[in-house]
A and B are shown apart, each in its own frame.
Chain A
Amino acid sequence: GQQVMQIPQYQHVQEGEDFTTYCNSSTTLSNIQWYKQRPGGHPVFLIQLVKSGEVKKQKRLTFQFGEAKKNSSLHITATQTTDVGTYFCAGHRWGGGADGLTFGKGTHLIIQP
């Protein structure tokens, strides 16, 4: 079945440093979504990428979808303590309904002030 791998599993950064998490799928995706889960909270939708090579920005967050639509990345510039949490990617395979949505295991971002 479809697998979505995320690396790294954990990332410790100093406040103000940049952070990047990578998502790789074993199959071509129709789109990819990113979610953030704060400690003790539930996942919250951040963005969806659909087009090959697409780049979207939300303030300090930059999301990219690979040309082959099998990988994606989330980059945070100048991290702040409010960025703490787990970032999940979720890939939709072609023709899949809800069962075509596969979440990665997430990257836990830990920020040291």
Chain B
Amino acid sequence: GAGVSQSPSNKVTEKGKDVELRCDPISGHTALYWYRQRLGQGLEFLIYFQGNSAPDKSGLPSDRFSAERTGESVSTLTIQRTQQEDSAVYLCASSKRVGDNEQFFGPGTRLTVL
């Protein structure tokens, strides 16, 4: 595909369950980013990958959040023991390289924790 894709598009889960969100970046883009956007709010930066490595994980809200990227392609964001405050849209973006390049956003995964 030509753009960034994310799956699932919607996820409803019960409090305490684990969820895994997937992002497929644009082919050839070495940089990949995860953001969280609560309803009506701005973008909260979570983590970025340069290739398969994540130099800075300090943006992750808690130790329940983790992310990995393999093959300089697909990335997964995992939230363990979900809480209601985790409900948000999780956006993934990619760019040709880390730095000042245009970021291309995926459609997001809307997570609802009941």
Chain A residues at the B interface, C-beta cutoff of 8 Å? 6, 30-31, 33, 41-45, 48, 50, 88, 90, 92, 97-99, 101-106, 108
Contacts and interface: CB of A to CB of B under 8 A. Distances in A.
23 contacts: A31-B100, A41-B107, A42-B105, A42-B107, A43-B43, A43-B91, A44-B105, A45-B103, A45-B104, A48-B100, A88-B42, A88-B43, A90-B43, A92-B99, A98-B99, A99-B45, A99-B55, A99-B58, A102-B45, A104-B42, A105-B41, A105-B42, A108-B40
B22 to A, nearest CB: 16
A44 B106 CA distance: 9
Nearest to A99: B56
Contacts of B103: 33, 43, 45, 101
A92 B105 CA distance: 17
A104 to B, nearest CB: 6
Contacts, number: 60
B7 to A, nearest CB: 14
A98 B31 contact: yes
B98 A97 contact: yes
Contacts of B31: 98
Interface residues of B, number: 26
Is chain B's binding surface mostly helix, strand, loop or mixed? Answer: loop
B50 interface: yes
Contacts of A92: 99-100
B102 interface: yes
B56 to A, nearest CB: 5
B48 interface: yes
A48 B103 CA distance: 11
B23 to A, nearest CB: 12
Nearest to B50: A97
Nearest to B4: A42
